[in-house]
A and B are shown apart, each in its own frame.
Chain A
Amino acid sequence: MTFKVIVKGKASGKIMKTGTPINFLGAVDKKTGVIHDKKHDLAGRSIKDSILVFPYGVGSSVGAYTIYSLKSNKSAPLAMVCAKADLSVASGCALANIPMVIATELDKLEDGKEVTLDTESDKLITFRE
Chain B
Amino acid sequence: MELTKEEESALKGEHGETMETAYRILVAIGEATNAEKLVPIKWAHLSGVNYNTIGDAGEEFLSKLSQDAKVKVMTTLNPMGFDFDSVSKYNLDKNFIEKQQSIKQSYEKMGVIPSFSCIPYEIFDLPEKGTQVSFAESNAAIYANSIAHLKTNKESAFSALASALTGKTPYSDLRINDSPNLTINMKIDEPNELAFGMLGYFAGKVADNSVSISGVSEVNKRSCKSLCGGMGTSGRCGKFFLGEGKENAEKIDFGKKEMQSIYDELNTSDHGDIITLGSPQLGLEEIADLSSMLKGRSFEKRCMVFCPRVVQEQARKIGYTNELERAGCEILSDCCTCLTPLVDKNEIDSVTTNSIKGAYYLKNSNGVDVNLKSLSQIIQDETK
> CA–CA, A4 to B56, complex, Å?
32
Q: Which residues of A contact B60 (CB under 8 A)?
A: 72
- The reply to whether A94 and B158 form a contact with Cβ atoms under 8 Å apart is yes
Q: Which of A59-89 contact B (CB under 8 A)?
A: 59-66, 68-69, 71-73, 85-88
- The reply to whether A60 and B47 form a contact with Cβ atoms under 8 Å apart is yes
Interface size on B, residues (CB 8 A): 40
Q: Mark A29-55, 1 if CB is under 8 A from B, else 0.
A: 010000001000000000000000000
- The reply to whether A73 and B32 form a contact with Cβ atoms under 8 Å apart is no
> CA–CA, A4 to B35, complex, Å?
13
- The reply to whether A94 and B365 form a contact with Cβ atoms under 8 Å apart is no
- The reply to whether B57 and A61 form a contact with Cβ atoms under 8 Å apart is no
- The reply to whether A61 and B47 form a contact with Cβ atoms under 8 Å apart is yes
Q: Which residues of A contact B234 (CB under 8 A)?
A: 58-59
Which of A4, A65, A85 lies in contact with B157, CB distance below 8 A?
A65
Q: How far is the CB of B263 from chain A (nearest CB, A)?
A: 17
Q: Is A95 an interface residue (CB 8 A)?
A: yes
Q: Is B48 an interface residue (CB 8 A)?
A: yes
- The reply to whether B47 and A94 form a contact with Cβ atoms under 8 Å apart is no
Q: Which residues of B contact A64 (CB under 8 A)?
A: 48, 156-159
Q: How far is the CB of B30 from chain A (nearest CB, A)?
A: 9
> CA–CA, A69 to B58, complex, Å?
7
Q: How far is the CB of B185 from chain A (nearest CB, A)?
A: 24
Q: How far is the CB of B345 from chain A (nearest CB, A)?
A: 14
Q: Is B53 an interface residue (CB 8 A)?
A: yes
- The reply to whether A72 and B21 form a contact with Cβ atoms under 8 Å apart is no
- The reply to whether A85 and B364 form a contact with Cβ atoms under 8 Å apart is no
> CA–CA, A37 to B365, complex, Å?
10
Q: Is A16 an interface residue (CB 8 A)?
A: no
- The reply to whether A69 and B57 form a contact with Cβ atoms under 8 Å apart is yes
Q: Is A93 an interface residue (CB 8 A)?
A: yes
- The reply to whether B29 and A65 form a contact with Cβ atoms under 8 Å apart is no
- The reply to whether A61 and B138 form a contact with Cβ atoms under 8 Å apart is yes
Q: Can you report 22 residue pairs joining A to B where beta carbons are below 8 Å apart?
A: A4-B31, A6-B32, A56-B236, A58-B234, A58-B236, A59-B233, A61-B157, A65-B54, A68-B58, A69-B55, A69-B56, A87-B33, A87-B155, A88-B157, A90-B28, A90-B31, A90-B156, A91-B28, A91-B156, A91-B158, A94-B25, A94-B158
Extra contacts besides A65-B57, A90-B32, A91-B158 (15): CB < 8 Å: A30-B55, A59-B233, A59-B234, A61-B136, A61-B160, A63-B156, A65-B54, A68-B61, A69-B56, A69-B57, A69-B58, A73-B57, A85-B29, A87-B29, A94-B28
